[in-house]
Amino acid sequence: MSSILAAARPVAAAPPLPADPMLPVPYVVERTQRETADTFTLELLPQGGSAFRFAPGQFNMLYAFAIGEVPISISGDPAFPQRLVHTTRAVGAVTKGMGKLKRGDAIGVRGPFGTSWPVGDAKGCDVVFVAGGIGLAPLRPALYEILAHRERYGRVVLLYGARTPDDILYRKQLHDWRGDFDLDVHVTVDRATSAWRGNVGVVTTLIPRVGFDPYNTVAMVCGPETMMRFTVLELERRGVPAAKVWLSLERNMKCGVGLCGHCQCGPKFICKDGPVFPCVDVWDLMSRREL
């Protein structure tokens, strides 16, 4: 198994490392977009710099001036590095501050940091994305990249669970992708409203229903940790081995580069060893309490 993993390990970010990783680089908000009641997307341009290259799955430390800094996954298209895109949920002081930013406002960016989704290793395979809640945002760059090279992959499936129909992210884009790129999209909600005509039930209930070849599938999973654990088990029941499943983990981060110690989960530094991990590297850690 170790040889399979060695081959499938995500390469560290191709982009060059920032000169001083602790100094934020000024960016300007070019566009804001409200996605749902508590999520929004910021599109950023460098205040004077050049294009921002990143690999799908990587994150930035975003600094709301005079408020604070938080790690946020990049959710834009890696083929268009001129514009840095982040979809964020307003849950704390910093992200709420970011939610108030308007076009022309400044923001600090450190990054990109961390490992990436195995989009290259998935060539020739069916690809199953399983997203829960805001977890769709860190997967979106991988979706962009795979759909841009659609012919290199077998079936491409997105299983997406949201809390309620009002919490569904990127609704229009999902609809467009379904038609334009032969993306098999299945959306479900945990709580239905009477107007909702779609699926009801947790995202794991979609796994047995969709068509893909479990023996030739790479799965990329992002969402709350509990949802990811259940998803791994359901994928396994379907026949997808854990060695072909990748997860993105979240922990507190202050530096993003393995120096501040906050993001440790057992022996792993989520910021530099992750956030994207082969499931088998973190499965034991995820099942231990308060690790």
Partner 1 sequence: MEALDPLLAEHPFLKGLTPTHIRTVAGCARNERFEAGQFLFREGEEAHQFFIVRHGKVAVEVGAPPRGAVTIQTVGEGDILGWSWLVPPYRWRFSAQAKELTRVITLDGRCLRQKCEEDHDLGYELLKSFADIVGQRLDATRLQLLDVYAAEPAGRHK
Partner 2 sequence: MNASEEAPGASSRVVEAQEISALLDALFESGYRVLGPTVKGGAIVYDEIASAARLPAGVGQEQTNGRYRLRQRGDGALFGYTVGPHAWKKFLFPASLRLFGMTRQKKALHVESRAPDARPDAFVGVRSCDLAAIARQDRVFLEGPYSDSAYRARREKALIVAVQCGEAESTCFCSSLGTGPRAAAGFDLALTELLDAGRHDFLVEVGTDRGAKILQRIDSRPAKPEDLEAARAATRRAEAGMGRTLDLAGLKDLLTASNDSPRWEQIAERCLSCANCTMVCPTCFCATVEDASDLTGASAERWRRWDSCHTLDFSYIHGGSVRRSASARYRQWMTHKLATWVDQFGETGCVGCGRCITWCPVGIDLTEEARVLQEARPAPAA
Chain positions contacting partner 2, by CB under 8 A: 12, 17, 20-26, 28, 47, 63, 65-69, 89, 91-92, 104-108, 250-252, 254-255, 257-262, 264, 266-267, 269, 272, 288-291
**Nearest CA to 8 among 290, 281, 287, 286?**
281
236 binds partner 1 (CB under 8 A): no
Note the Cα 1 to chain centre separation in Å. Answer: 26
- Least separation in angstroms between residue 235's CB and partner 2 is 24
Residue number with CB closer to partner 1 (86 or 89):
89
Closest distance to partner 1 from the beta carbon of 164 (Å): 9
By CB under 8 A, what part of segment 198-227 binds partner 1? 198-202, 204-205, 208-209, 223-224, 226-227
Instruction: CB nearer to partner 1: give 16 or 211.
Output: 211
Answer yes or no: are the C-beta atoms of 201 and 188 closer than 8 Å. Answer: yes
Cα dihedral sign for 78, 84, 90, 95? positive
- Where does residue 104 fall: left (phi above 0), alpha (psi -120 to 50 degrees), or beta otherwise? left
Q: At a CB cut-off of 8 Å and minimum separation 6, what does 88 contact?
A: 39, 40, 41, 42, 62, 72, 95, 98, 99, 137
DSSP-based three-state secondary structure for 287: coil
Number of residues that bind partner 1 (CB under 8 A): 30
Which residues here bind partner 1, judged by CB under 8 A?
A: 38, 89, 91, 132-134, 161-163, 167, 188, 190, 192, 194, 196-202, 204-205, 208-209, 223-224, 226-227, 230
